[in-house]
Chains A and B, each alone.
Chain A
Amino acid sequence: MAMVKERSSADRYKAGVIPYKTMGYWEPDYKPKDTDVITMFRITPQPGVDHEEAAAAVAGESSTATWTVVWTDRLTNCDVYRAKAYKSEPVPNTGPGTKTEQQYFAYIAYDLDLFEGGSIANLTASIIGNVFGFKAVKALRLEDMRIPVAYLKTFQGPATGIVVERERLDKFGRPLLGATTKPKLGLSGRNYGRVVYEALKGGLDFVKDDENINSQPFMHWRDRFLYCMEAVNRASAASGEVKGHYLNVTAGTMEDMYERAEFAKSLGSVIIMTDLVIGYTAIQSMAKWARKNDMILHLHRAGNSTYSRQKNHGMNFRVICKWMRMAGVDHIHAGTVVGKLEGDPLMIKGFYDTLRDTHTPQNLETGLFFEQNWASLKKVMPVASGGIHAGQMHQLIHYLGEDVVLQFGGGTIGHPMGIQAGAVANRVALEAMIMARNEGRDYLREGPEILNKAARWCAPLKSALEVWKDITFNYESTDTADFVPTATGSV
């Protein structure tokens, strides 16, 4: 890497436009401090723009720089506030001879004092505030961040966390089962509650509002809450288990959201939910409310694919996972591997590790570019939802582990023998598979056999396996690992 020519400070602050690289935003010798926030961007420079200059420009635009030199910099201890790009390297399998134009991974370090404690809004306003529209880069993607322990300690983190959620629900050692009420739209409160009751009584732990079930003409939110809680309590009595329904409190204003959350609490709900689209600050507020009110907070990642799906621009979902763990949600949808939505197995493992581990080592294969110490922030329960069914139970447990909510919406409600039967099928498949796993069997390989054996005494499972036996979603993922020798397709 070429060394930057020394400039005197008089030169540096002469009025006019000078390259970012020479303004102090490119420091190849910089060793990031333990307290620095570190980011890694995937940069596609505009033709003719040197990649180190592009990296410096991103560092500059995401910290102190403006397009021209300002003398007022000299009134500040500006060396500290300048973000420092310290490494830029070509992305494997891009550039000449490949289908993709040349991209670079740029590493940038930010001093801790650039950020306000406990504010995702402030962190993101800096890191992704302006820079994505910047002309010097053709495309830009935030791939990963290393959040220093010192900064993590200013965040509440998950209101409840996996450990306490399980203790409250009294459910251990197996994935939790959920379903989204279908059809999404048009059911009256009374009809809606019927679906909830049937699914919970059949054996699911949770039923869920969908992201866009708020308070529409066909069903006012209060009606939904009242009928859902009737269903939850009836199902709890019918089974002797703690049951829940994620009541979606997403609304137009914070005041409305608090009102809905309070009503959910007054009815005895164990869990509420909201959508990613309400914004980071609103999510943090709901997380604080949830902590104060002994409530589990479920988050639907509505909207994320608008910026997380394309590989060259936007941000990777793993960054959203990190921010949401800091912001304080207890559940987040994080992919299924085997279902209908986007998801490469290795990438999804990276998301799940980010949400659940106390410490994630660097792992390029799963897209974890930095070692991350989670500083005792509680663990977030990932949720797998979309196009999954009982016949995939062995694969789901293999890829996703046991600390996950498996949401079988269509796979429960679409069961030919009815909703209760659909729930029974899922629960029997789950318990049989967990038992086999614990017994030390090669359950991934023997999965179909284990399920068929259980289906011999469980008619609902037999019927589920029959109906959905051919359902798989085999598309290439768009967001895949950069560091694996061969691409891993969806399973």
Chain B
Amino acid sequence: MMSNHGNRITQGQFSYLPDLTDEQISAQIRYALKNKWALGIEYTDDPHPRNTYWEMFGNPMFDLKDPAGILIEINNCRKTFPNYYIRVTAFDSTAGWETPRMSYIVNRPKKEPGFGVARTEGPGRQISYRVHSYATDKPEGERY
């Protein structure tokens, strides 16, 4: 078990708060829609801090007016991948941004073993570090 606050991976905007309810998730989606951002749902069983490309649960959704449609997809994704990490990402296409503006986790595995640090001693006192996910010792799809 992870030993940090909440004993869990703390990526995303709201990992230090209690798990978001569907109403809270919808309120955050509403904020993104108000800003005309597109919303994508992504899932993974390899939450390494530098794993940028989680799998997309369909393309990002553009031009929507109401959170309900996105919540349906989030729940579909949860149903399909109940023991994966799932995050909602909001994409801003305006000049000067053209990048995600929000990202928060809406689903996580029941047990989160976390990561270890592997050290390789180099010359002098130098060490090369590798952050290693315990879960990825197992093949894809069998990790959590």
Contacts and interface: CB of A to CB of B under 8 A. Distances in A.
B13 A173 contact: yes
Contacts of B24: 435, 439
A277 interface: no
A4 B30 CA distance: 62
Consensus secondary structure, chain A interface: helix
Contacts of A239: 4, 9-10
Contacts of B116: 237
A385 B15 CA distance: 24
Contacts of A427: 5, 10, 16
Nearest to B128: A268
Q: How big is chain A's contact interface, by range? A: 35 or more
B136 interface: no
B10 A170 contact: no
Contacts of B125: 222, 226
A144 to B, nearest CB: 22
Nearest to B48: A240
A174 B5 CA distance: 19
Interface residues of B, number: 46
A199 B101 CA distance: 25
Interface stretch (A227-235, A292-300, A342-350): A227-235
Interface in B25-42: 27-28, 30-31
A238 interface: yes
Contacts of A434: 13-14
B115 A240 contact: yes
B115 A431 contact: no
Given A203-B16, A424-B16, A435 B49 contact: no
Nearest to A235: B4
B27 A170 contact: no
Interface of A: 163, 166-167, 170, 172-174, 201-203, 222, 226, 229-230, 233-234, 236-242, 266-268, 357-358, 376, 379, 420, 424, 427-428, 431-432, 434-435, 438-440, 454, 457
Interface of B: 2-5, 9-11, 13-18, 24, 27-28, 30-31, 47-50, 52, 89-90, 95-104, 114-117, 125-129, 131-132
By Cβ-Cβ distance, the 10 closest A-B pairs, closest first, are A240-B9, A438-B31, A358-B96, A173-B102, A233-B129, A237-B115, A439-B27, A172-B103, A237-B117, A163-B99
